[in-house]
Amino acid sequence: MSVMSKKESDGCKKLLELLPKDDLFALNDTVTNRLIQVTSSREAIEAIIAYSMSAEELLKRKKVHRDVIFQYLAKESVVVPRNSEKYQLVKKTLELWSCATQVSNSDFQKEDGLGELTALGKQFCQWFFQLLNSQSPLAAQPVQDWGPQHFWSDAKMLLSHTTLSQVKQKEEFVGAELVSQRLLALVWDERLLFCPNLAQPGPKCVASLHGLVLVAVAGTIHRESDCLGVFEQVFGLIRSPLDDNRWKIKFVHLNAKRQIGKETVPAVTYDSQELLQLFTP
């Protein structure tokens, strides 16, 4: 399972706009496990896209009827036989969206994002979570090149999470190898999948005067078809002049909690000043 690309997200939005309102609200209840209460079609579409693990998963939902996909393809000037089965239409739609290639390591890291922090943050999150989720034994995508090479040698990670009894626990890891291994264990050993909310309001980004870029993102945590909870994660990024001037991860703060009661679409709780203070010695 992978995070949607912008092409897929935009396409899903257009397709969902073709659904009747009742079907749209019912689909929202299914995708979000009834945790997200919406009052408009726009809110429902945003929640459905944010909580779907992939475009393919969304297209295969029962409420996304064959006729709706057929109608969407027709609007996009894609000609398909009238008697096409739903699986054939799903395949055709995914092919249409696949012209937007996945974000690669080099695509993200060579991007000069200091002038466009919002774009940099979204691109980083798409790259990072595609990469991390691809390590899961449940992932329906090729395994990508995960490892300590994406982190500074003295990288640090603070992991906060709540137990079943709602006890807050904290773990700290220092060094590229340990940070990389702990994150890998979350998706490989614990079989978790992370779905960041890249739609509105999306990630929050801020740059310090010394070249540190902070990217904060919120999202949901899944295991197979279950939504286990929500997370908020902050990354500290610094360019490496000895590694083709690419961005590498210096700090990671990951706060995960089990979902209790009704939740809104996950959103970052830090403001810009709090982000800057987070990594100030």
Per domain, the residue ranges of the chain are: 6-98, 113-278
In the block, which residue shows the tokens 């809104």?
Answer: 264
Report the SS3 class of residue 151: strand
Mean pLDDT of 53-82: 88
Q: What distances in angstroms separate CA 74 from CA 15, 18, 169, one per listed residue?
A: 11, 12, 52
pLDDT tens-digit series, residues 223-265? 877 888 889 999 999 988 887 778 899 999 999 987 655 555 6
113-278 CATH: 3.10.450.50
Which tokens go with 176?
């590229």
Cis, peptide link before residue 148, omega less than 30° from 0: no
Distance from the first to the final alpha carbon of the chain: 38
pLDDT tens-digit series, residues 13-53? 999 999 999 999 999 998 888 878 889 999 999 889 888 88
In the block, which residue shows the tokens 């773990």?
Answer: 171
Task: Specify the higher pLDDT residue, 85 or 105.
Answer: 85
pLDDT at 112 over 60: no
> 75 pLDDT band (50/70/90 cuts)?
confident
Which tokens go with 228?
């286990």
Cα 143–Cα 144–Cα 145 angle in degrees, nearest 5: 130
In the block, which residue shows the tokens 């937007």?
Answer: 100
Task: Specify the higher pLDDT residue, 97 or 259.
Answer: 97
pTM equals: 0.61
